[in-house]
Structures are given as C-alpha cells and as structure tokens.
Copies of this chain bind each other. A is one copy, B any other.
C-alpha cells in the first residue's frame, strides 16, 4: 500500500494529535506502520487503541467517497501540502496532543499551501459579546482586504464573526474543524460552512463522517495555530478553548496577539492574562496585526495621532505667554510677563506670533484671547 492510502487509513484508525503515532510514522513511514497494525502487530503502544476500528477499513473507498463530495486528502509530498504544519513535528505536546497531522481532508477552491502563505488565525470565545464579535469581524475584514487568509474554527461567537468579516470583503478564509469536513458543527453554522467551502476552504484532520469530541478540539486547535503566521485572541474567558490555541501559537513560535476589552468583561479576562503574563502583543486594529505578522519593516502601522491644534507649534515660552493672556479683560505686556513668569522683553515677539496664529487679539487696553481658542490642560 502506498504512503497516501496508508495515511488515509491511519487518519481513520487513530485520534488526531496522537503523539505516539505521529512519531512512529515519522520514523518508519505510514505504509509500514499501517501494515503492522493491519497485521495486529503493536507499534508504539497504538495497537490496542485502534484495534476496534480495524474492521471494515477501506482507504481507497474513503478517498473515492470523499472525492464524490468534492473533498480531497492532502498529505506530505503533495504540492498543496503546507510546510508550516511541519513545525508541529518538533513542537512539544500540549495536553497530550501534538505531532504533525497524517494528512488533511480539505474542501474548497483555495489551495491550502497558498492560503497559508499569509494567514492569521482569529479565535476567541463562543460566548462572545457584541463588542468582541464586532472587533473580530472588523479585524478579519481588514485582514481580508489585505489578502491575508483568516483562519478560524467556525465555532459560535468570535470564530463565526471572524469568518463572516473575511467573507464580507471576499477575503480568503479557512475553517479548521474538529469533525469531518462533510459535517456541520455547530449545526447552526451549516450555511456558513457551505459558504466557506464554496469560496474559501474547510479543513480537518478527521476523515469525513467523524463527529467532534474534546480531544479532537484540542488537536484541531494546534492546526489553527500552525496554519497561520500569528494568532489573534479576541475574547477568551478564563477557560476558553481559544487559550489552548494561544498556547499552541506560542509553542510554535507564531506571533501571539490579543485584543483587550473592558476589564469588567469576563470574556476579556483570558486575553488580558495572555497580554500580561504570556507575552501576547496587544493589538487594537488590523494594521497592528499586519505589522506584527509581516516580515520586519515591510509593513508599518500608521501611528495614532490626536487632533492637530494651532498651539502645537508654539515654543514653550510662547505657550507660557498664551496661558497668561486673559480671556475677558485685556492685559498689557508687563502684566503678561509677570503672569507668565518670563522676561518683559520676550513678550512682544511671542504676542506677535500668537496674533499671527489667531490665538490672541489686540484690544485698546492690551491683549486678550481670540474668541475661538479654548484654554485647558
């Protein structure tokens, strides 16, 4: 049996993220490992776990049936195989899940390797707030407009908002599932998933037909992190699965980012913790994310600036004189000098400058503020 069919068979036999199996496949090749298990020989302690699933296994039929549904199996050696997932080979396991996937079942018009070339994962709480969902959606739309693929998990809340934000601007988006790509999980996202499969890509380590379980979510999260150059967590309560994805991003040396929120909002607690203690970069807009995931210096976010005021260009001394000019009762030059605490001979030039800028006006008895200017700190 060839490597490809053996990988298909193993992907049906094993649970995704089985570190033992990934290691032994790396060492001995998929075909050998599959043949041994087929012959009821143990390998790396995997046999007893997969024994109950050996009956009726038919990888070629799996491939044919998948193909009939527009689903293809991408594995190492294929031109479409994305090199970034190979980083999982050497990354330390997390919650006993890890290793590179045996292959990926994919559905959609994107080519996986190209979709991952410039990709950012946007993940977060299923119980997102309106605020979080809005931010995720805006961020994804910004990334989509720049041609960056938005990777997420198609869950309720932040994931959904991220996919929709990308779809709304016809940006590339990839949904990575913890079940077969032929299944809709959650079922309320059937339409969303169909639309992603029509225009972007739905990806899973699990063969068609498989249902999601907790270990599959944990294994899935490592793929979300691996397929993207960086992961943005938008909202994540203290136990959100998004924090598991964040851990994977760190473990894979991907850029980990977090969008802050109100400290009074539970769904932001996990993100604040990531920023405070886990080295996540604080990001507030799409530009920040693009700057962080782009090669150094190739993208620089425009710095935020406050409004420009006529007073901005004043020297310290001119500003002192301006502050000394009364609003109502005009003051003479001597009085301005005393109030400002600067030399009388410096005052006339300063007052002329302020007059040019329209900040003061001359009255018969001296100088006062021009009507439009406001004082203050």
Contacts and interface: CB of A to CB of B under 8 A. Distances in A.
Interface string A219-243: 0000000000000000001110100
Given A262-B261, A305-B238, A213 B282 contact: no
A19 B7 CA distance: 74
Contact of A320 (B15, B239, B304, B305): B15
Interface string A345-377: 110000000000000000000000000000001
Contacts of A238: 304-306
Interface residues of A, number: 64
Contacts of A285: 263
A165 to B, nearest CB: 14
Interface in A45-63: 48-53
A285 to B, nearest CB: 7
A315 to B, nearest CB: 9
Nearest to A18: B341
A343 B306 contact: no
A324 interface: yes
A9 to B, nearest CB: 14
Contact of A334 (B52, B281, B334): B52
Contact of A52 (B155, B305, B338): B338
Interface in A186-216: 213-215
A298 interface: no
A126 interface: yes
Contact of A306 (B239, B288, B316, B334): B239
Given A49-B342, A53-B341, A214-B323, A284 B263 contact: yes
A344 interface: yes
A167 interface: no
Nearest to A53: B338
A285 B265 CA distance: 12
A131 B304 CA distance: 22
Interface string A293-315: 00000000000111100000000
Interface stretch (A28-36, A66-74, A267-275): A267-275
B377 A217 contact: yes
Contacts of A344: 48, 51-52
Contact of A96 (B52, B275, B316, B345): B316
A82 interface: no
Contacts of A275: 260, 275, 282
A19 to B, nearest CB: 11
B377 A155 contact: yes
A377 B275 CA distance: 23
Interface in A330-345: 334, 337-338, 340-345
Contacts of A264: 131, 134-135
- Among A13, A282, A340, the most chain B Cβ lie within 10 Å of the Cβ of A282
A213 B217 CA distance: 60
A298 to B, nearest CB: 19
A259 interface: yes
A316 B262 CA distance: 34
A263 B13 CA distance: 45
A2 interface: no
A319 interface: yes
- What are the 10 tightest A-B residue pairs by CB atom distance, in nearest-first order? A48-B343, A260-B260, A239-B306, A238-B306, A213-B323, A263-B284, A52-B338, A15-B341, A241-B377, A276-B282
